Amino acid sequence: MRSPALVRRLVLLCLPMAIPAGGALAQASDHPTRPIEALVQVSDGQPRCQPQELRLPADANVDLRIRNGGSRAVVVRVPDLFADDRVRSATGAAADGAGGYRVEAGANAQMIVKTPPQGQYRYECADTGGAGSAMSGVLTVVR
């Protein structure tokens, strides 16, 4: 039988490995999914989003990467996904205040977002060059 002092010492030695630096225990659902990539650009005066249909897991933190392959800025709008309480972090993109994020020409954006419940949601890619043109697609959130 091990002495209580030895057990206490073993527990104290193992504790730093079990608790992350922040002190809180992370749950598996807190970690983002593998990166999901989308390409946006203005081509021949029309905004383009690829893929036109995105499938994401429901109620998950998603690592969304948006690359603007064009020479003009594009705004990607998904109000149900880009609500303030769902965006965990956004780098390389600026919120437009209307449920969208602006990605500058040639830029790469990375966003960690909490997906909405299962369902289909419309998204839009809009040209910021003043033409007012937009392309829409479908975001399908699945269990």
Secondary-structure breakdown of the chain: helix, strand, coil percentages, each rounded to the nearest 5: 15, 45, 40
pLDDT, tens digit (0-9, with 9 covering 90-100), for 33-61: 899 999 999 988 899 999 999 999 999 99
The whole-number average pLDDT for the span 21-29 is 35
What's the first-to-final CA gap in the chain, in angstroms? 48
Whole-number pLDDT of residue 129: 74
Whole-number pLDDT of residue 31: 83
Q: Quick one: DSSP state of residue 26?
A: P
Give 71's pLDDT tier (boundaries 50, 70, 90).
very high
pTM beyond cutoff 0.85: no
Q: Are 36 and 113 in contact (CB under 8 A)?
A: no
DSSP string over 31-96: S--S-EEEEEEEETTEEEEESSEEEEETT-EEEEEEEE-SSS-EEEE-TTTS-TTTEEEEES-EE-
Whole-number pLDDT of residue 28: 35
Q: Are 68 and 40 in contact (CB under 8 A)?
A: yes
pLDDT, tens digit (0-9, with 9 covering 90-100), for 76-135: 999 999 998 999 999 999 999 889 999 999 999 999 999 999 999 999 999 987 667 899
Whole-number pLDDT of residue 7: 33
